Amino acid sequence: PHDFPIERPTQRLLVVANRLPVSATRRGDDWHLELSAGGLVSALLGVKQNFETRWIGWAGVNVPDESGQKTLAAALAENGCFPVFLDDVTVDQYYNGYCNNVLWPLFHYIGLPQEDRLAATRSLQSQFKAYKLANEMFANAVYSQYQDGDIVWCHDYHLMFLPKFLKEKNSRMKVGWFLHTPFPSSEIYRTLPLRSELLKAVLTADLIGFHTYDYARHFVSACTRILGVEGTPEGVEDQGKLTRVAAFPIGIDPQRFIEALETDVVKSHIQELRARFAGRKVMLGVDRLDMIKGIPQKLLAFEKFLEENIDWRDKVIFVQIAVPTRTDVYEYQRLTSQVHEIVGRINGKFGTLTTVPIHHLDRSLAFHELCAVYAITDVALVTSLRDGMNLVSYEFVACQTQKKGVLILSEFAGAAQSLGAGAILVNPWNVSDVAMSIEDALTMKEGERNERHRHNFMHVTTHTAQAWADTFVSELNDTIVEAELRTLR
Which of residues 93, 135, 181, 204 is near ligand ADQ by CB under 6 A? Answer: 181
What backbone torsions phi and psi does residue 407 show, to the nearest 5 degrees? -105, 120
Residues 309-348 that bind ligand ADQ (CB under 6 A): 321, 323
**Which residue stretches of 99-191 are H helix?**
104-107, 118-122, 124-145, 162-169, 186-189
Minimal distance, residue 413 CB to ligand ADQ, in Å: 7
Least distance CB 386 / ligand ADQ (angstroms): 8
C-alpha distance from residue 338 to each of 102, 170, 295, 328, 334 (Å):
21, 49, 10, 16, 6
Of 1-9, 111-119, 283-291, 475-483: span binding ligand ADQ (CB under 6 A):
283-291
Chosen residue from 57, 388, 422, 428 binding ligand ADQ by CB under 6 A: 388
Q: How far apart are CA 358 and CA 408, in angstroms?
A: 17
Q: Is residue 375 involved in binding ligand ADQ (CB under 6 A)?
A: no
Closest CB to ligand ADQ among residues 325, 432? 325
Nearer to ligand ADQ, 128 or 257 (CB): 257
Q: Do 388 and 412 touch, CB atoms closer than 8 A?
A: no
Q: x/- site string to ligand ADQ, residues 418 to 457, per CB under 6 A?
A: ----------------------------------------
Rounded to the nearest 10 degrees, the angle between the axes of helix 264-276 and helix 367-376 is 50
Q: How many other CB atoms sit within 10 Å of the CB of residue 421?
A: 11
Binder to ligand ADQ among 283, 370, 376, 426 (CB under 6 A)? 370
Shortest separation between residue 469's beta carbon and ligand ADQ, angstroms = 11
Q: Which residues make Cβ contacts (< 8 Å) with residue 423, sequence separation at least 6?
A: 393, 406, 407, 408, 409, 416, 452, 456
**Minimum distance between the CB of residue 21 and ligand ADQ, rounded to whole angstroms?**
13
Give the chain's radius of gyration (CA, Å).
23
Count of beta carbons in the 10 Å neighbourhood of residue 191:
11
> 53, 390, 410, 456: which one contacts ligand ADQ (CB under 6 A)?
390
288 binds ligand ADQ (CB under 6 A): yes
Q: Of 391 and 406, which has the nearer Cβ to ligand ADQ?
A: 391
Report in angstroms the alpha-carbon separations of 73 from 36, 78, 150, 159, 428.
Answer: 18, 9, 21, 21, 44
H or E element at residue 465: helix 465-488
In the set 110, 229, 389, 465, which binds ligand ADQ (CB under 6 A)?
Answer: 389
Other Cβ atoms closer than 10 A to 378: 21
Site stretch for ligand ADQ (CB under 6 A), options 1-9, 257-265, 267-275, 281-289: 281-289
| Closer by beta carbon to ligand ADQ, 231 or else 324 | 324
Closer CB to ligand ADQ, residue 146 or residue 177?
177
Residue 132 or residue 360: which is nearer to ligand ADQ going by CB? 360
Nearer to ligand ADQ, 186 or 393 (CB): 393
**Closest by alpha carbon to 154, among 236, 254, 84?**
84
Question: Total residues contacting ligand ADQ (rule CB under 6 A)?
Answer: 20
| Interaction of residue 364 with ligand ADQ, rule CB under 6 A | yes
180 near ligand ADQ, judged by CB under 6 A: yes
Nearer to ligand ADQ, 370 or 406 (CB): 370
**Per CB under 6 A, 466 contacts ligand ADQ:** no
Contact call for residue 306 and ligand ADQ (CB under 6 A): no
Residues 387, 399, 418, 426: which binds ligand ADQ (CB under 6 A)? 387
Q: Which helix (H) or strand (E) holds 215?
A: helix 213-222
x-or-dash pattern for ligand ADQ, window 245-264, by CB under 6 A?
A: -----x--------------
Residue 469 as a binder of ligand ADQ (CB under 6 A): the answer is: no
Using CB under 6 A, pick the residue from 286, 295, 301, 398 that binds ligand ADQ: 286
Q: Out of 16, 22, 39, 434, name the contact with ligand ADQ by CB under 6 A.
A: 39
Question: Where does this chain touch ligand ADQ (CB under 6 A) — which range of 117-125, 165-173, 386-394, 439-447?
Answer: 386-394
Cα dist. 334→116, 162, 442 in Å?
Answer: 11, 32, 32
The least CB distance from residue 365 to ligand ADQ, in Å, is 4
Closest to ligand ADQ by CB, 350 or 418:
418
Sequential DSSP letters for 333-398: HHHHHHHHHHHHHHHHHH--SS--SEEEE-S---HHHHHHHHHH-SEEEE--SSBSS-HHHHHHHH
Is residue 329 within 8 Å of 370, Cβ to Cβ? no
What is the distance between the alpha carbons of residues 453 and 422, in angstroms, rounded to a whole number?
Answer: 6
> Across the beta sheet with 316-323, what order do the strands follow?
358-361, 316-323, 281-288, 379-382, 406-410, 424-426
Nearer to ligand ADQ, 167 or 298 (CB): 298
Q: How far apart are CA 281 and CA 11, in angstroms?
A: 50
Q: Which residues bind ligand ADQ (CB under 6 A)?
A: 38-39, 180-181, 250, 286-288, 321, 323, 364-365, 370, 387-392, 395
